[in-house]
């Protein structure tokens, strides 16, 4: 199920739609190719072959372009604007530079902590695109295994073959290689059990000759077949065929792709036939050799060669003979009416599904929840479950009590409402506790351990005392906390170019560190002025850990020192 959820991600959905679009794109390419091949005679074999390769390439490019378009238009616009402030007007004690954002700024997106879930159907099951993607990956895997088996078969034949030792045949082979201007080294092996010459290998091509041909035939009878195989090597057909296998594996579900690929192999054989005729002599003699080999294979049924990258679906002997003997012959791309009708129905059905699916998608998008509605739904779901409560160990449940007073620097009592935080550290854990609506004198319950107390007031600088050793159930009395007026601290926010960040959506929050390195007291969120300056009234001297949020920039965390 986790795999299906992963395959339901948007990127896989777009890939599935791009693959499905090839079901109507490929038949259009095949139809255009069919019309073009009817106009081009057989003697223009290279042109016919190039058109077929171009058709297969067009199908692949069509799928890639469709995928790119789906990715481009499915995503929303991003806000990458960097807000520019006015020139600085107040001298600041500290300047904080916000780094440029490396992620998409989405003002209307989900709140922090919300993760995007895979797309699902309305009944909670994984979407059909995930199921299709799973089946597609399985099919691709099977097709790749098929290709690997072909490679393994080639290695087996090359391993079983013996080097050609007949000097007459070696000399004839070298003459043919020089005629074709093949400079690469080509190994020639004789294989027992092989019934037709073949080329195996990708990086280092090897010519495989049947043992029966070498031992029982005159050179003039099999040299044309050697020339045909050398033509494959000269044209690098084994590399092109490897690419075909890869495309067939990716688009294995598309019948039009298989038909175009079959036509490529037919035209490839025709190109090699023409090269072999040009190297050996008359077309009639070459055709007789083809007929002799066809007769041998008919006498021994089931003896089709098994080689790596062997040409399946090769053209018939009659078609190859017509191509060689009739210069004006125009071979046609054979497509049965049944196959054509099925492809037409599948394409029309797919277009209808995509059309209606687009309408449904627009309706669903229009009725989709707003960001605030999504938040409300999540909060509603959270309220249905009990919150997770971490129980304290038994030896820490018996809290200690801290009692004392809060006074000003002149000894006057402070009667305003105070915000107090206590921070307890022990061998097992640490606890930060907020005590609201506290007045002097105070009494605080804290977790046993080493304890710090921090007091915040609107009219005074924050103050901290400690550490104290608080024992379970113990009482610490006469704690005196002195509040100072503090000073006015200023921090300027700028971008990397030094321009102040004075946008109203920019905010600063954080906490002050005590002399013991403890962060506990929070600094309320505040915004800078138009000049990018953030003012801290009644600030205390020390280190502050600040977090800055600004539109168009990464969230920045800095530690700054404020001094009078």
Is there a single domain that holds both residue 406 and residue 449? yes
CATH of the domain at 499: 2.60.40.1120
Is there a single domain that holds both residue 445 and residue 466? yes
Tell me if 103 is assigned to some domain: no
Q: How far apart are CA 173 and CA 167, in angstroms?
A: 10
For 288, phi then psi, to 5°, come to -65, -40
Residue pLDDT tens, the chain, 564 long: 566 667 777 788 888 888 999 998 999 999 999 899 988 887 888 999 999 999 999 999 999 999 988 887 654 433 333 333 333 333 334 555 555 444 443 433 333 333 344 444 444 445 678 888 888 899 899 988 888 887 777 777 777 777 877 777 778 788 888 888 888 778 888 887 776 777 877 677 888 877 766 766 666 667 777 888 888 888 888 888 889 989 999 999 898 999 999 899 888 888 888 888 887 776 777 777 666 666 555 544 433 333 333 444 445 554 555 555 445 555 555 555 455 566 556 656 666 665 555 555 555 555 566 677 767 777 777 776 655 555 556 656 788 898 999 998 888 888 888 888 888 888 777 778 888 778 888 888 888 888 888 888 878 888 888 888 888 888 988 898 888 888 888 888 888 888 888 777 788 877 766 555 555 555 667 788 888 888 878 877 777 788 888 887 888 888 887 777
Tell me if 284 is assigned to some domain: yes
Among 483, 516, 541, identify where a domain stops.
483
Among 335, 350, 385, identify where a domain stops.
335
Is there a single domain that holds both residue 325 and residue 297? yes
Is there a single domain that holds both residue 517 and residue 434? no
Is there a single domain that holds both residue 323 and residue 450? no
pLDDT of residue 62: 92
Tell me if 375 is assigned to some domain: no
The domain in which residue 473 lies consists of 394-483
Is there a single domain that holds both residue 462 and residue 529? no
For 538, phi then psi, to 5°, come to 55, 45
Q: What is the DSSP secondary structure assignment for residue 126, as one 8-state letter?
A: B
Tell me if 357 is assigned to some domain: no
User: What does each C-alpha distance from 210 to 167, 230, 263, 292, 309 come to in angstroms?
Assistant: 17, 15, 27, 15, 17
Q: Render 127-170 in DSSP notation, one character per residue.
A: PHHHHHHHHHHHHHHHHHHHHHHHHHHHHHHHHH-EE---HHHH
Cα dihedral sign, 151-157-161-163:
negative
Is there a single domain that holds both residue 447 and residue 308? no
Tell me if 346 is assigned to some domain: no
Is there a single domain that holds both residue 405 and residue 548? no
Among 429, 450, 483, identify where a domain stops.
483
| Helix, strand, coil share (%) of the chain residues, nearest 5 | 45, 25, 35
Is there a single domain that holds both residue 498 and residue 453? no
Contacts of 341 (CB under 8 A, 6+ apart): none
List strands edge to edge, sheet with 556-562: 519-526, 507-513, 542-549, 556-562
Tell me if 435 is assigned to some domain: yes
Which pairs count as long-range contacts for 45-49, CB under 8 Å and 24+ apart, including other chains?
45/267, 45/270, 45/271, 45/273, 45/274, 45/323, 46/271, 48/267, 48/270, 48/331, 49/264, 49/267, 49/268, 49/270, 49/271
Is there a single domain that holds both residue 158 and residue 221? yes
Tell me if 109 is assigned to some domain: no
The three-state secondary structure class of 215 is helix
Tell me if 451 is assigned to some domain: yes
Judge contact between 402 and 444, C-beta under 8 A. yes
pLDDT of residue 389: 57
Q: How far apart are CA 158 and CA 124, in angstroms?
A: 54
Judge contact between 41 and 51, C-beta under 8 A. no
Total number of domains constituting the chain: 3
pLDDT of residue 515: 52
Judge contact between 271 and 49, C-beta under 8 A. yes
Q: Which of 214, 197, 215 lies closest to 206, judged by CA?
A: 197
């Amino acid at each position: 199920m986790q795999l299906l959820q992963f395959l339901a991600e948007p990127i896989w959905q777009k890939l599935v739609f791009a693959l499905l679009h090839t079901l109507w794109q490929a038949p259009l390419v095949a139809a255009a190719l069919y019309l073009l091949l009817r106009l081009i005679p057989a003697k223009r074999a290279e042109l016919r072959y190039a058109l077929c390769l171009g058709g297969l390439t067009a199908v692949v490019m069509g799928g890639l372009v469709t995928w790119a378009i789906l990715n481009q238009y499915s995503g929303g616009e991003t806000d990458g604007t960097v807000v520019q402030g006015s020139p600085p007007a107040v001298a600041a004690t500290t300047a904080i530079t916000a780094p440029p954002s490396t992620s998409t700024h989405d003002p209307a997106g989900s709140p922090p902590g919300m993760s995007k879930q895979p797309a699902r159907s309305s009944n909670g099951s994984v979407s059909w695109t995930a199921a299709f993607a799973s089946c597609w990956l399985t099919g691709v895997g099977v097709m790749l295994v098929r290709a690997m088996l072909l490679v393994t078969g080639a290695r087996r034949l090359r391993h079983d073959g013996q080097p050609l030792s007949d000097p007459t045949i070696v000399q004839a082979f070298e003459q043919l290689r020089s005629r074709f201007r093949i400079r690469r080294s080509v190994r020639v092996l004789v294989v027992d059990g092989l019934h037709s010459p073949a080329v195996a290998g990708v990086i280092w091509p090897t010519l495989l000759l049947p043992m029966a041909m070498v031992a029982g035939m005159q050179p003039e009878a099999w040299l044309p077949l050697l020339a045909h195989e050398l033509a494959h090597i000269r044209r690098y057909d084994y590399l092109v065929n490897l690419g075909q296998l890869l495309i067939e594996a990716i688009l294995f579900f598309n019948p039009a792709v298989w038909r175009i690929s079959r036509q490529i192999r037919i035209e490839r054989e025709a190109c090699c036939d023409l090269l072999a005729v040009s190297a050996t002599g008359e077309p009639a003699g070459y055709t007789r050799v083809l007929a002799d080999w066809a007769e041998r294979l008919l006498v021994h049924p089931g003896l089709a060669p098994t080689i790596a990258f062997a040409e399946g679906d090769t053209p018939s002997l009659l078609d190859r003979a017509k191509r060689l003997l009739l210069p004006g012959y125009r071979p046609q791309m054979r497509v049965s009416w049944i196959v054509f009708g099925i492809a037409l129905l599948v394409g029309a059905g797919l277009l209808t599904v995509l059309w209606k699916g687009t309408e449904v998608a627009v309706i669903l998008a229009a009725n989709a929840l707003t960001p605030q509605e999504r938040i409300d739904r999540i909060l509603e779901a959270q309220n249905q479950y009990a919150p997770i409560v971490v129980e304290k160990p038994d030896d820490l449940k018996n809290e200690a009590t801290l009692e004392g007073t809060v006074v000003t620097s002149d000894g006057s009592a402070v009667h305003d409402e105070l915000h107090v935080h206590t921070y307890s550290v022990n061998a097992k854990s640490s606890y930060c506790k907020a005590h609201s609506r506290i007045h002097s004198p105070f009494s605080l319950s804290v977790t046993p351990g080493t304890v710090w107390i921090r007091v915040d007031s609107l009219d005074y600088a924050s103050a901290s005392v400690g550490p104290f050793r608080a024992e379970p159930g113990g009482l610490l009395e006469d704690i005196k906390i002195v509040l100072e007026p503090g000073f006015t601290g200023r921090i300027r926010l700028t971008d990397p170019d030094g321009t102040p960040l004075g946008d109203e959506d920019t905010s600063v929050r954080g906490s002050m560190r005590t002399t013991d390195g403890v962060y506990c007291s929070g600094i309320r969120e505040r915004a800078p002025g138009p000049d990018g300056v953030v003012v801290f009234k009644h600030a205390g001297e020390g280190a502050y850990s600040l977090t800055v949020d600004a539109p168009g920039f990464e969230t920045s965390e800095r530690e700054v020192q404020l001094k009078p």
